[in-house]
Amino acid sequence: MKKQTRLVKIRRRRNKTNYTKRLILLKGNLPRLVIRKTNKYIILQIIESKKAQDKIIYSINTKELLKKGWPKELKGSLKSLPAAYLGGLLLGAKAKNLKEKIILDSGLIPNTKGSKVYAAVKGVSDSGIKIKYNEKVMPSQERIEGANGKISKEIFNKIKEKIK
């Protein structure tokens, strides 16, 4: 049996890395869509792995939506559902020449129906990137457009047009 390094044991104990799930994803030999939530933003990356060494191909932070017309007074809502969708759309626009199918790597974020993770996946999918997902877990179009949030539908559609 292989000897585990001290770092691996610490990351497992602190619930930072699920090595079983990571191994399954690496065996797929496909680029991964990695979604991470911070206290202020959502980070979306497309990552390739060669011999368990990760290389970021494309990366986006929802902070970049401020340049696309996101209202500065709503800067605190850059981790919302509409921001996640628009971030996915922006990542898809950046990675438009990606020919391969990608798979979702949500890390330790729980799989919850209608969550920000799936809003981002829908944004990536709507931009033309091939990603497999179940339509049942996607948030409704009203929630994605910010119907019950601070951002208006007009602002959402304006930003969406700037991204495309």
In a domain, 113, yes or no: yes
- Angle of helix 153-163 relative to helix 81-94, nearest 10 degrees, comes to 10
What is the reported pLDDT for 29? 80
Nearest to 103 by CA among 32, 49, 43: 32
What is the reported pLDDT for 1? 45
What is the domain extent for residue 48? 6-163
In a domain, 142, yes or no: yes
What is the reported pLDDT for 122? 93
DSSP string, the chain: -PPPPHHHHHHHHTTS--HHHHHHHHHTTS-EEEEEE-SS-EEEEEEEEETTEEEEEEEEEGGGGGGGT--GGGGGGTTSHHHHHHHHHHHHHHTTT--S-BEEE-TTS---TT-HHHHHHHHHHHTT--B---GGGSPPHHHHTTTTSSS-HHHHHHHHHHH-
Nearest to 159 by CA among 91, 89, 95: 89
CATH number, domain with residue 66: 3.30.420.100
In a domain, 117, yes or no: yes
In a domain, 1, yes or no: no
At 31-48, the pLDDT tens digits run 989 998 889 999 999 999
Give the total number of structural domains in the chain.
1
Alpha carbon 155 to chain centroid distance? 21
- The whole-chain average pLDDT of the chain stands at 84
What is the reported pLDDT for 2? 58
In a domain, 12, yes or no: yes
| Cβ pair 144, 82 in contact under 8 A | yes
In a domain, 138, yes or no: yes
What is the reported pLDDT for 118? 92
Residue ranges for the chain with pLDDT beneath 50: 1
